[in-house]
Amino acid sequence: MSDKELELLLARRRKELERLLQEKREAEARRREEAQREAILRQILTSEARERLARIKLARPEFGTFIENQLISLALSGRLRGIIDDDQLKEILKQYLRQFSRKSRIEIRRK
């Protein structure tokens, strides 16, 4: 094997290792962010409300994530008073569901 081939192999290997390291860092950052989100949700929701939100995320992931983001935003801005129980979460869901369903209407026009 010539020096040039060896250098190319080393350069490829170095790039591969750098890519793997970057992926590992990104995965760790996502894990930390998710842990922070869960901690905030544990502080502002009762266990029943968290269970309901988890079921919503299973059925409608986009809507569940949207609701989580809204709740976290309200909590971080200080606009939430106290802990949200299941009944309060139901009311919040009803309000946002009206807005969310208006945005995602599909209209089929036949000619």
- Where in the chain are the domains? 3-101
Specify the pLDDT at position 105. 61
Handedness of CA 69, 71, 72, 73 (dihedral sign): positive
Is 82's pLDDT higher than 70?
yes
Instruction: For the chain, give percent helix, strand, coil, nearest 5.
Output: 80, 0, 15
Q: Which CATH architecture is the domain 3-101 placed in?
A: Orthogonal Bundle (1.10)
pLDDT in tens, 56-80: 999 999 989 999 999 999 999 989 8
- Cβ atoms of 57 and 72 within 8 Å: the answer is no
Specify the DSSP class assigned to residue 106: -
| Tokens coding 86 | 């299941």
pLDDT in tens, 7-17: 999 999 999 99
In the predicted model, what is the mean pLDDT of the chain? 90
Specify the DSSP class assigned to residue 79: -
